Amino acid sequence: MHVKSFDSKTPSIAKSAYIHDTAVVIGDVKLSEDVSIWPLAVVRGDIHSIKIGARSNVQDGSVLHVTHASDYNPGGYPLIIGDDVTVGHNVTLHGCTIGNRCLLGMGAIVMDGAVVNDNVMIGAGSLVPPGKVLESGYLYVGSPVKKARLINEKEVQFLTYSPQNYVRLKNKYMAECL
């Protein structure tokens, strides 16, 4: 596991969180209960803060970063991920806010200042441009994303199932490491 302090800031990691040995977590990062960070993911809170809510998972090859404060961007952009979020393989999240019970499909990109409200699904390969706000309860697809349709009841249930499944999986990994 590669957990590193930077600029006098050390990641805060809940005891029940799991970080794969090949993942990297740097700086001002908070991992809540039952968070899982999977192989080759990078969570880099070197120039602003990152908070990942309970039971959220960041899958293989994802890159999570932030934007520093400057004259061009007063306050900068932290990265905030809510509870029960599934961040699919190779997702890029940069200085954005992700609500609770969201699923970000493989290869999706969410840019600075974007806000993804609760209960949203973003299709694989989609791009959420800077500052875009995604309304709760919808599937968004495309590059740039467009509202495709309301998510159905089965999909709403999946938004809770997926994080629970990843908690079970990370518990198996943690048990084998002991």
Domain count, the chain: 1
Domain ranges, residue 72: 2-177
- Distance CA(106)–CA(53), nearest Å, equals 20
Residue 136 maps to which CATH number? 2.160.10.10
Q: Average pLDDT by consecutive 10-residue portion of the chain (178 residues)?
A: 92 98 98 98 98 98 97 95 98 98 98 98 98 98 98 97 98 89
pLDDT of residue 177: 79
174 three-state secondary structure? helix
Q: Which residue carries 């006098």 as its tokens?
A: 8
pLDDT of residue 94: 98
Determine if the pTM surpasses 0.95: yes
